Amino acid sequence: MQLIVGNWKMHGRLASVALVEALVRAGPIPGARLLVCPPATLVARFAETARQSHVGIGAQDCHAEPEGAFTGDIAAEMLADAGATHVIVGHSERRTGHGETDPVVHAKAAAAYRAGLTPIVCVGETLAEREAGATLAILGRQLEGSLPGAGPLVVAYEPVWAIGTGRTPTPAEVAEVHGFIAARVPAGTPVLYGGSVRPDNARALLAVPNVGGALVGGASLTPRDFLAIASAAPGSAP
């Protein structure tokens, strides 16, 4: 069973609940679990809409503290209270745009555990790092510094140079990285691939050894495309 996660980033309004309703109406997909991570403003509404269905609802970020004088931030406990089951931490857009370091990501992942959420910890290298042959060294450092202690966990490999660019690594490159990550996380941990996942490349990517699902960006905003990606998971109907 592969985990297919939709990261909506800063997209969506209340009317977007219709997209979740479409996913619920479509019914379960053999071989795939669906999780939608909308902006925090929509978590509660989406969770209510998807309640007792096959569609899970997660969030895109959280603060390390449970409460306090942190204007504009959202605690993991608040997300759990709103109905989230997972939270993405350490996305490259947070690491780059907000200066989040491995210790910051580690603290947020630990906060997810504290609140009863499953963290989706993101790791990935830039184009310059890949071209310098430093991919595995970068990922090793991020894994060592970002992963929390024992508990339910999802890891997402997102090559920074592939996000939103239409470029993707070759299956052999994905296999090398996912094998590297799988050897460094607890057995059974889903290792997702993220970075320009589309209906036309999903089947090849999801068939790579040690790929346990996908972290989907723009394509998750369209139910047809998101469902097509989920349907490409091994074990789903052709």
Catalytic residues: 91, 158
Beta bridge partners of 7: 37
DSSP letter for 218, please: G
Q: Are 154 and 120 in contact (CB under 8 A)?
A: yes
Amino acid letter, residue 124: G
Closest CA to 155 of 106, 191, 183, 118: 191
CA pair distance 18, 15, nearest whole angstrom: 6
Placement of tokens 């306090």 in the chain: 68
Show the DSSP H helices in 63-196 as ranges.
Answer: 76-82, 92-97, 102-114, 127-131, 135-146, 171-182
CA pair distance 52, 70, nearest whole angstrom: 33
